[in-house]
Structure 1
């Protein structure tokens, strides 16, 4: 085996501060994340201490205002950090993305008083967040959710069940989207619910094909009471808040997908350069070289697509279409690249002795979370041709 997998991706970062940040992340990856990733994923262990370390290092609040304890970094930089984390261990990269998603409603739609009270601890106080939109009977059709919040004076009582919650049962706070009015998108509001709220409980974690170190669980809200001071945005604005968060969250998934794909390519390059058949390295055979070239091209294209969407977001321009395109392309590419990596390793790729099979299992979920890729195609088509007639 060669040392090719240790060669870092060359990045174009806008400032010296961003370059120093990425150097810090790469040091953390090599010291604290990569050496134990395979063992801990196999054991299904969630690395809470890593998230505490990342919080203390400022990595869980990178795209948010410094005034509230954030890193003040553009999305262009934040997403490249996510890519590095996901390449080392998707549980960590995706977990950081989900935490950022959980903070979005407060950071973007909360009042100044709410942001001052809650954001500093969420961004740099060692807390871990989760985002609660999906339900057992409303996944892609989020506007049909049935979890309901009823107001009694200055307090809301929330009842319902949320599904597929990353960090469900271990999060310190939950951004919960619940119905406060009539049917449809206009009757939905957003709430910030503490993880230790009375009446809040989690189901047993799902048994998953991959991402075994990242707990995914249903969340039950049985008479959970929260003060109106924890309602985020205007009453009835919750669906708009949820969609805005998902646009940004899809860029996080895109970056994670590229990270997993890059890790798979690095592994395949390392293996095929060191493996000899018929008296020469496997990487000398044209058929395999073409596979490697296709894998690298898909990764570079995906990276360019998510970074362009991030730059639009940083400039305050519309980016919803580009976010959907990036999520669609990057996650489909990750599935293809990781599958090809398994093929390039031959029988070794099918064993747990190499991480290729783990990369392939992990890539699959990225085509599903935060809007399936079929939903992304619908989003892109609406931007191109308008909504479907019925």
Structure 2
């Protein structure tokens, strides 16, 4: 099949039994709209979650290229679980980069061995795609503790995560003239799932990524200590900027989805005896070329080989997610009436590709952020 991902290498490769389980889970959760806890448990035990954790803390010490390769491979099998793993990697990397000695010693080994699964809780209604107008707050009390209040939306891995990286406002809400992602006066806190002030809610009924446990997280009198703060107070924006600079790209998820769609279409045409058609083969080659172009720019982002790695990461997410949507849609069209059913895997993949385009930074925001780097 064109452009297969059989050559993808990972620090702890996916064994065939787990791969088959991931494939089946992708089909079943698309129907149920609920996370597959048994497959998630198997993934926790696989060793893959250790990728972004330094070796000193029991991890694989992987870089952005490793993260992107693994996420592509996982998304090729199961996009919902792939996005959960991507968020786990992101939180692991932020703790490795910004965490205190105590946070690293306590949290990173658990994140590496799968005992703990991490999630990011940044988005909320009314905050805008750039997360500049947060309503959720953290107030410091006289005893040094913080009380978090607010509501987060579209939190992936909600209800099944053990640790949440929560973005809140700790300073005054002021006009932000600098643009960009996040705003001054915002702070990150690491909140454990057992905290009585944190309440996840999976009432969101998503079109795509239906097995990703994406939902709401409420913060009501959620008490944390200063030891739970990640990085300096009011400096969350600097931490967010480092996410892009790292080269880990959501584009990797999109490439995996596009590759799966291409292979699904190829298999369908082969079964129908239509693969010998010159027109079909030409269209497949064009689609495969677009997937390869997306894979290449994601690889460039992961290698941090450009003069401006952060901008390249934005380009990679924007381009790869656009390609994934286009390839999935074209594949559905080539199926004809066979693609006009809820049972079609390509319709599921198309919805998953669309979900990547909407994930932060959403594609329109990616365009704004790239354009902001140009001379005025």
Task: Give the 3-state SS of the residue equivalent to 1:345 in structure 2.
Answer: helix
Q: How many residues align?
A: 367
The structure 2 residue matched to 1:327, chosen from 303, 317, 326, is 317
> Are 1:299 and 2:291 matched, yes or no?
yes
CA 1:203/1:52 → structure 2, altered by over 3 Å: closer, same or farther?
A: closer
The alpha-carbon deviation at position 26 of structure 1 amounts to 5.0
The match for 2:7 among 11, 36, 44 is 11
Distance in 2 separating the partners of 1:28 and 1:344: 31
Question: Which residue, out of 11, 14, 36, partners 1:25?
Answer: 14
Match of 1:193 in 2: 191
Match for 1:215 among 213, 216, 237?
213
User: 2:33 touches 2:206 (CA, 8 Å); kept in 1?
Assistant: no
Shift of 1:283: 2.5
The partner residue of 1:310 within 284, 302, 305 is 302
Once residues 245 and 52 of structure 1 are traced to their aligned partners in structure 2, the CA distance between those partners, rounded to angstroms, is 27
Deviation at 1:289, TM superposition (A): 2.3
Task: Give the unaligned 5+ runs of structure 1.
Answer: 276-280
Shift of 1:118: 1.6
**Does 2:60 correspond to 1:71?**
yes
Asked whether the equivalents of residues 251 and 327 of structure 1 are also in contact (C-alpha less than 8 Å), the reply is no
Matches of 2:344 and 2:168, distance apart in 1: 43
Given the alignment of the two structures, is residue 262 of structure 1 paired with residue 232 of structure 2, yes or no? Answer: no
Q: CA, structure 1 residues 139+26, in 2 after alignment: closer, same or farther (shift >3 Å)?
A: farther
Q: Does the 8 A contact of 2:249 with 2:313 survive in 1?
A: no
Give the C-alpha shift of residue 11 in structure 1.
3.3
CA distance in 1 between counterparts of 2:6 and 2:36 reads: 28
Does the 8 Å CA contact 1:161/1:221 hold for their aligned counterparts? yes
Q: Distance in 2 between matches of 1:48 and 1:247?
A: 33
1: CA distance, partners of 2:204 / 2:116: 23
In 2, the alpha carbon distance for the partners of 1:242 and 1:132 equals 13
Matched with 1:238 is: 236
Match of 2:281 in 1: 289
Please give the TM-score of this superposition, normalised by the length of structure 2: 0.91
Partners of 2:369 and 2:223 in 1: CA distance: 35
Shift, 1:174, TM fit: 0.6
Give secondary structure in 2 for the equivalent of 1:73: coil
- Residues 169/39 of structure 1: CA separation in 2 closer, same or farther (3 Å cut): closer
Closer, same or farther in 2 for the Cα pair 1:244/1:48, shift >3 Å?
A: farther
Partner Cα separation in structure 1 for residue 245 and residue 123 of structure 2: 16
Provide the residue aligned with 1:278 in structure 2. Answer: none
Q: What do the CA deviations read for 1:109-149 (whole angstroms, capped 9, x no partner)?
A: 11222211221112224222211111110131312212111
Report Cα offsets for 1:295-347 as digits up to 9, x if no partner: 1011000001001110117x9x7511000000000000000000111112111
**Which residue is equivalent to 1:367?**
357
Are the aligned partners of 1:257 and 1:363 in contact in 2 as well (CA < 8 Å)? yes
TM-score (norm 1): 0.88
The aligned residue for residue 335 of structure 2 is: 345
Note if contact 2:92-2:118 (Cα within 8 Å) is conserved in structure 1.
yes
Offset at residue 76 of structure 1 (A):
1.4
Paired residues of 2:170 and 2:233 also in contact (CA < 8 A) = yes
Corresponding position of 2:178: none
- 1:62 pairs with 43, 47, 51, which one? 51
Query: Gaps (5+ residues) in structure 2?
Result: 175-182
Give the 3-state SS of the residue equivalent to 2:370 in structure 1.
helix
How far apart, CA to CA, are the structure 2 residues paired with 1:318 and 1:123?
30
Structure 1 residue 103, shift from structure 2 partner: 2.5
The answer for the alignment partner of 1:273 in structure 2 is 270
What CA distance in whole angstroms lies between the structure 2 residues aligned with 1:57 and 1:269?
30
Q: Give the RMSD, CA atoms, in angstroms.
A: 2.2
